[in-house]
Amino acid sequence: MLPPENSSPKPQGKEKFSELRGAFDAFFSEKPIKGILQSMDELFTLSFSERSFPLEVQEADEHYLVTAKLPGISRQQIDIEMLKQSLIITVTHHAELEKKNDKTTSIHREQSLKKLSRTVSFHKPINEKDITANHKDGLLVIIIPKIKGKRISINE
Q: In this structure, are 67 and 99 located in the same domain?
A: yes
Tens of pLDDT along 8-17?
A: 555 555 666 6
Helix (H/G/I), strand (E/B), else coil: 146: strand
Tens of pLDDT along the chain (156 residues) come to 555 555 555 555 566 666 666 666 665 555 555 555 555 555 444 444 456 789 999 999 999 999 999 988 899 999 999 988 899 999 998 777 777 777 777 777 788 788 899 999 998 889 999 999 999 999 999 999 999 888 899 998
Tens of pLDDT along 53-66?
A: 899 999 999 999 99
Q: In this structure, are 61 and 43 located in the same domain?
A: no
Q: Determine the pLDDT at residue 64.
A: 96
Q: Determine the pLDDT at residue 117.
A: 92
Cα gap 30→20, rounded to integer Å: 16
Strand partners, 92: 115
Q: Determine the pLDDT at residue 60.
A: 94
Closest CA to 125 of 96, 75, 82: 82
Kindly state whether residue 65 falls inside one of the protein's structural domains.
Answer: yes
Domain that holds residue 75: 55-145
Q: In this structure, are 60 and 37 located in the same domain?
A: no
Kindly state whether residue 5 falls inside one of the protein's structural domains.
Answer: no
Number of domains present in the structure of the chain: 2
Kindly state whether residue 150 falls inside one of the protein's structural domains.
Answer: no
Kindly state whether residue 40 falls inside one of the protein's structural domains.
Answer: yes
- The total number of residues shown for the chain amounts to 156
In 10-73, DSSP assigns E strands to: 55-59, 63-69
